[in-house]
Amino acid sequence: MARQQVRRSSSSLRSFREKSVRYVAVAVLVAVVAATLAALVSSSADAATRAPVTVNGPSTVVAGRTLTLTGTAQAAGDRLRFFVSRWDAKARTWKQVASGRLAANGRYAVSFKAGPVGKQRYQVMMDTLDASFSGERTVRVLPA
Give tens-digit pLDDT for 17-62: 777 767 766 665 555 555 555 544 444 444 456 678 999 999 999 9
CATH of the domain at 98: 2.60.40.150
Residues contacting residue 80 through CB under 8 Å, at least 6 positions apart? 73, 101, 102, 126, 127, 128
93 in a structural domain:
yes
For the chain, helix (H) and strand (E) counts, in that order, are: 1, 7
* Mean pLDDT estimate for the chain: 79
**Same domain as 84, residue 45:** no
Q: What are phi and psi of 8, to 5 degrees?
A: -60, -45
**Same domain as 75, residue 4:** no
Residue (of 83, 85, 69, 82) closest to 122 by Cα position: 85
Residue 39 sits in which domain range? 1-49
**Same domain as 116, residue 81:** yes
Give pLDDT, residue 11.
Answer: 67
**Same domain as 42, residue 64:** no
What gap in Å lies between CA 113 and CA 111, rounded to an integer?
7
**Same domain as 64, residue 45:** no
54 in a structural domain:
no
